[in-house]
Each structure stands twice: as C-alpha cells, then as structure tokens.
Amino acid sequence: MPDLAATCVVGDIHGCGAALDELLALVEDRAESFVFLGDYIDRGPDSKGVIDRLLAFRARHPRTVFLMGNHEMMLLEYLQGHDEDFFLNAGGSETLASYGISPEAGPEEVAAQLPAAHLDFLNELPILWEDQHGFYVHAGLEPGVHPSRQTAACCLWIRDEFIRSMHRFDKPVIFGHTVFKKPLVQRNKIGIDTGAVYGGRLTALLLPEKEFVSVQTARQSEPPEIFGDQNGLFQGRAIGLTVSKLLRFFR
C-alpha cells in the first residue's frame, strides 16, 4: 500500500452527490486528513444527500474539516429572513427541493423542516483553515492582509483581486469558488473548483504531492453567463471586481 498523503482537499460539490461518491471512493484511503472547501449545496440535485454523505464521512474520518462556502452562508442568511430571492435564484430552490421543501414555504418553515444535524453542520463551518502545507479557504485571501485579519466577506466571495495577485503568503492558498477548466497551479495559490455542477469535473488535491484526482460529471446547471479568459477562467472579472470593491465595507 502506498504512503498516505498528509492532506486531501476537495473542491466545490454543489449538490453533485453521485460525483462525490465516485471521488471519495478514489481518495478516502489515500490521506491522513481531509479538507472540504465549501459550496456543498445549491444548483445540483442532491444537496441533502451531499450533507448526509459528508457527515457519514466525518464519522469514519475524524480528521476532517469542512469549510464554509458562500452558498452555505447564503442559506444561513436566508434562514434569518435576509436576501431570500438571492438564495433561491442562486440554486437555493434546488437545495430546498432536495429536502422535499417548496421554495414558497418561507424561511421559518424551511428552518423547521431541515434536519437538526444539518443545521448544526452549517452553523459550525469555519471560514479558514491551515496546516503545514497551506491555507485553505473557499474563495481566497485579501492580498497583503495577514490571515488572522481576513474578513468573512473576502474569504467567501473574493475573485480577481486574489486570483490575479502575485502576493505570496507564508504558505500556498488552496481555494475553490472560481471555476477553472483545469486546476489553477501557481507558486502562491492552487484553485481546484473545476466546475462539477456545470458538467466539468469534481477535483481533489493530495498534499504535499500536489497530485490531482478528479471525476467527470454530468451537467446539472447552466454555466455562468460571464465566461473567462485565456487562462481558462470560467467566472469572470465583472463579478470579481464588484465584490472586491465591496470588501472595504466589511473591515
């Protein structure tokens, strides 16, 4: 049996339960610890099943960290009565359907119907994690700002300001959120969201080897309207720049 990788990192799942099963079968016995980068829900058909699988996985592998994604945060905001249309239009309707809940139910009724274990899961997700190999975060880090001073808004939403920056933190930053045709590998960052829900691939990264393991997925949602550049970036500058301009208000 080959030596175990120290850490396995899994990119954005977005309700693609079958792809998650296939990927975990390839990596579950290959690492000592696991980090999932968020966006477990929305857009795909099986958000409830994905969270069930993740909870069962952590029971088998206690050295597992689940990070917050912007879609988990949107669900939590929705349950508080905020930005209801934003959540539902960004894939939230598919998430509620996976629980057998109508999007017409309203936040209070939805909260009452979600499993308690799933609510606990959502409320306990950290924003940022690190080990000896890197920093792990859903969207990225604000360049030039120490990791201890990063805001949730930045960690969950940032795009261009981080992706196009050459700033180097003490360790590489491993992130999801922004979709690439293939993993983005630079000296200061590694992006592993390869568009599973859009018919791309669901990708895991084994560290410190920097070995990628991925599975092909069927398209469950239409890709974003804004497409990318020569680097294979699917989700583009207009969104990233708008978010980065807002970050100053969260510090």
Q: Domain ranges in the chain? A: 5-250
- The CA-based diameter of the chain, rounded to the nearest angstrom, is 52
Q: What is the pLDDT of residue 136?
A: 98
CATH code matching the domain that covers 5-250, chosen among 3.60.21.10, 3.40.630.10, 3.40.50.920, 3.30.56.10: 3.60.21.10
The answer, yes or no, to whether the previous bond of 223 is cis (omega within 30 of 0) is no
Q: What is the pLDDT of residue 240?
A: 40
Q: What is the pLDDT of residue 218?
A: 93
Q: What is the pLDDT of residue 246?
A: 43
Distance from C-alpha of 195 to C-alpha of 36, rounded to nearest angstrom: 15
Q: What is the pLDDT tens value at each position of the chain, 251 positions in all? A: 457 889 999 999 999 999 999 999 999 999 999 999 999 999 999 999 999 999 999 999 999 999 999 999 999 999 999 989 999 999 999 999 999 999 999 999 999 999 999 999 999 999 999 999 999 999 999 999 999 999 999 999 999 999 999 999 999 999 999 999 999 999 999 999 999 999 999 999 999 999 999 999 999 998 865 434 434 444 443 344 344 444 433 33
CA distances from 153 to 91, 142, 212 (A): 20, 10, 28
